[in-house]
Structure formats: C-alpha cells, structure tokens
Amino acid sequence: MNSLVVWMSKVGREGPRSAAALFNNRVERTAAMRFGFKSRLLLFLVLFGIVAFPQHACANAGTPLIWAGMLHLVFGNALIGIGEGLLLAWLFSLPKVKCVIAMIVANYASAWLGGLFIRGAIVDALPMDLNNGWMWFWVMVVVTYCVTLLLEWLFIAQRFRGTQDWFRRSVRASLVVQSASYVLLFGWYWLASGTSLYTKMDVVAPADLALPESVHVYYISPADGDVYKRQLTGGSEQKIFELNSTDRYDRLFIRPNTTDSNRWDLVASLETEWYGAHSVDVLTNMMVEAAPELRSSRTGTPLNEGTTWLNFGRAQRLGSATNSHWKFWAGFWAVEGLEASNETTGESLWFSYETPFGMWYVRNVVHLPSDKVLFQLGWDQICAFDPVRRRVGLLWKGRGPVPVIEKANVEQ
C-alpha cells in the first residue's frame, strides 16, 4: 500500500507522461526479476539432474555411466565452459564474453574429439586384462588430462595472442583452469562408474583360489578359434576340435544327449548375422557330470542356447554346488557385474568394472564345487571367484568356458 501511495504522488507531481514511464520501469524491473529467478531455477534443475542421474539411473534405461556420458557431452560441456570462461577472465583480466564462448567451444571439441575418438583408440590398443586393468585405469586418467590440456590450450592461447609473454601465460592459464574442471569431471565419472572389482575384491593368482582339481574346462581359444580342454587348476591345454571360431560372441554350452539321459553333448553356439546363432556339435555322448543351462533343464530337449552376449542371469550349479547356500547372478550391464548372496548368513557382495576407460561384462557363469565360480570376464578372460575370501583371479584367455567333472572323478 505504501509503495502505491508513493507511486500515485509521483504521478500527481510529474503528470501522465512520467506516470507511463514509471509504470514501464516497474514492469521492466518485475520482468527482469522474474527472468533472473527463472534462470536460476533452470540452472538449479539442470545441475540437480546432472548430479542425480548418475547415482539413481534405472538399469533398464541404461547404466549411470551411460547417462553421465550423455549429459556431459550434450549439456555438461556448456556449463563447464561457462565456469572455465569466467575463471579465466577473472584470474587473467580477459573479456568475459569472449572467454566464455572460447571455453564452451573448447570443451565440446575436447570432449567429442579427445573423449570419443582419441581416448577410444588408446583404450582399444591397450593390452588390458584383469591383472593390469587397474594400473591402466590410472594411466588413462593421466593421459586424458594431458590430452585435454593440449586440445583446450589451443583455444585459450587465442585469448592471449598479441599480449606480452602470451605463451607462458596461456600455458599457466590452461593448467589452472583445466585442473579445476578436471577434478570435478573425475569425481562426476567416478560416481557413475563401477570399480568394485578392484576396490572391494582382491585380484590374486589362480593358485591362491584353491580351485577344485576334479573340474576340467572346455573353451574356445581366442588365438585360433578352436576348442581346447584344460584342467581348472592349470596344466597344459589339449586341442579337442577344430572350430575356426572368429566372433567374440561365440561360446560353448552343454546339453543332455537326446538318446541317453546319462550322457551329454558339447555344442558350440556361433554368431550369425542379426544377432542369430547356429549350433555345431563338438563332442557327443560325453560321460561327465555337467551343469545344464536353464532352458535345457526345463524343456529336456536340445536347444540353441544363444551366444555369449545373451548368457547372463542365474549361475547353474555343477556337482556338489547343488547343495550350496550361495547363489550367484550375472547382470546384463557391465556395471551389474557378478552378485553373490548366502541364504544362511544373509551375506551379499557384488563386483563390477565399468569405467570411461574400459568395461567388462560378466557372462557364462557356473557355480563350481567348493563354492567357487567360473565365469567369463569381458570377451576373452576366463576367471574364477571365491566369495568367502573375496578373491578374483584370471585363469587364462578363452571364450565360452564349460566346466565338467569327468566320470572317473564322479564315481570316485
């Protein structure tokens, strides 16, 4: 009411023209206040969404890392560019608008060129496996930082061109600005990644896993694509069948023999076009104890069990593992990894590896006697897991492992 009286008194003193001007000024100030509030609210919602999505994204709609990468590539680079531009202008007394525009463009260029193409090419070329994966992760953290420094320095240097000692100042500016934003980006992707394979488990040598000696493993060698047999605890490999497999999704599986229910057939499932598969008999009428896959055990008829990509879910049990209190489950996404739970103690644990510098899916899981687990990590690592001591070990390179207990060992 007081503001209305003041406004009316001004109108009486200054006339209609001044009244119109005062009214327009009031409207402009109100609109500016509303626009500022909406801008702050929009910025808050965007930031809240960016922070919340990586931690709570539903697995059915993708992984937290996928959402984190998408938000970073599409929206995050603009926000980072604004922050870097303002910081650059403030620390080195440069024009704000030009700095902000330059850093927004620099962030999109470095994220798409460096993040997608350069980083991807480096990761694909690395000889990465379970034993050295954690070391390569930290190497790539440093390499990515250096690549970002180089790519974005090209844009920062343009802002210092023509000034005294521009080269040294631009290098220092790039180090300061990129270090600040890279720390935030590292935390952003760390929250969205799955690193529990290394942070919560112990990676050990196969001899430290105390694996059952009675188990033999059939698998496809990535070197020549043929089928080999090997004792679980080590020893030399024995070539069984010339398969000439060429696809990383190819695998082996075992199913009951159609004529003799006490015998088993070892079959290769080979990838075809459009994610199809066809079967090739490797060995038939095997006198072994095996862990049939879920669909074969339900139907009792031979089925094409699909390739490695689709072989996730509950682990089948081999031998005395049928009486175990442990249950194991392989998730579809790499970040879901391998989950273990004990029905008696209520203990549960889980590990995975999904980062911007590589990811490994867990497939072809079989619950072994003595509560160990055999599984395929990534596309060519045959590994074993001890849930009691939380140990994981790389046994050897191979695809589509099938463990069995030979009849002599079963009778014994």
Last residue of a domain, one of 165, 192, 219: 192
Low-confidence ranges of the chain (pLDDT < 50): 1-24, 26-39, 41-59, 297-303, 409-412
Question: Edge-to-edge strand order for the sheet containing 338-342?
Answer: 313-314, 326-330, 338-342, 348-351
47 within domain boundaries: no
287 within domain boundaries: yes
- The strand pair at 251-256 and 373-377 is best described as unpaired
Residue 320: domain span: 199-411
d(CA 85, CA 227): 58
Q: Are residues 294 and 353 in the same domain?
A: yes
Hey, is 117 helix, strand or coil?
helix
22 within domain boundaries: no
Q: Are residues 265 and 232 in the same domain?
A: yes
* Contact predicate 152/185, CB 8 Å: no
Last residue of a domain, one of 169, 192, 215: 192
119 within domain boundaries: yes
pLDDT of residue 41: 43
Q: Are residues 205 and 161 in the same domain?
A: no
50 within domain boundaries: no
d(CA 25, CA 19): 10
The tokens for 190 are: 């760390």
pLDDT of residue 72: 87
pLDDT of residue 292: 79
86 within domain boundaries: yes
* Contact predicate 243/265, CB 8 Å: no
Whats the size of the chain, residue-wise? 412
d(CA 43, CA 78): 12
pTM of the entire predicted model? 0.78
Q: Are residues 172 and 225 in the same domain?
A: no
Q: Are residues 177 and 109 in the same domain?
A: yes
Q: Are residues 158 and 304 in the same domain?
A: no
* Contact predicate 405/319, CB 8 Å: yes
String of DSSP letters for 357-383:
TEEE-EEEEEEPGGG-EEEEETTTEEE
46 within domain boundaries: no
Q: Are residues 331 and 184 in the same domain?
A: no
Q: Tally the C-alpha atoms within 13 A of residue 230's C-alpha that lie toward its C-beta.
A: 18
301 within domain boundaries: yes
Q: Are residues 63 and 175 in the same domain?
A: yes
d(CA 311, CA 318): 17
Number of domains in the chain: 2
pLDDT of residue 123: 85
Q: Are residues 211 and 269 in the same domain?
A: yes
pLDDT of residue 220: 96
Q: Are residues 230 and 335 in the same domain?
A: yes
Span 191-230, pLDDT tens digits = 999 999 999 999 999 999 999 999 999 999 999 999 999 9
Q: Are residues 282 and 148 in the same domain?
A: no
Last residue of a domain, one of 167, 192, 217: 192
pLDDT of residue 275: 63
Q: Are residues 396 and 263 in the same domain?
A: yes
